Amino acid sequence: MRTCVSVGTRVHTVTFVTQKIMYTLKEIVRLVGLDPTKLSREWAVIERGISTWLGSGHLKQVTLEIQTQDGTRLAGRWDLDIDYDLPGDGTMWADAQEVRYNILKAGDVPWTCEYSIWASAPGGPSVAGWGSGKMFSTSGFKRYSLGTTIDGNGIGVRASYWRKS
């Protein structure tokens, strides 16, 4: 009985955190002024990767990388760092207001900018639709941390954004 409860709790936690990460990505894309069509089109693949790697414990970071209009340089970036060591007290919450507030501080970008979703899951299982690639350098940018914005009863997410310094 105890094992069944533990497994059920873990699945619920992974589902909750996955959904909140996806919602956070959607809010960032929408509120910085980007076209959400690409995110909508790739939603199932992105969600499957995040859920799989959270469940296996391999997911370290999800990144929304925004490129300049010509696609040659970084225009902005949001990191969602995963923390598997938060003390779980049974509560689950997400601070969407903190993310929204910091989106205003980070500033908007031209809606014609392109963006990519990256995940760092070293040693994790392969997920259909995900591949490897290289992100743009953050040289000339400064990282601003929001702290923990999602707590899923033991799995937390710390958000941060990068802005030109």
Q: What SS3 string covers 59-97?
A: CCEEEEEEECCCCCCEEEEEEEEEECCCCCCCCEEECHH
| pLDDT band per the 50, 70, 90 thresholds, residue 111 | confident
Q: Can you give the residue range of the structural domain that contains 118? A: 2-164
Domain count across the chain:
1
Domain harbouring 10, CATH code: 3.30.900.10
Q: What is the H or E stretch that residue 139 is in?
A: none
Q: In this predicted structure, what is the pLDDT of residue 43?
A: 98
Six-digit token string for 97: 């207001």
Predicted TM-score (pTM) of this structure = 0.92
Write out pLDDT tens, residues 22-68.
999 999 999 999 999 999 999 999 999 999 999 999 999 999 999 99
Q: In this predicted structure, what is the pLDDT of residue 108?
A: 77
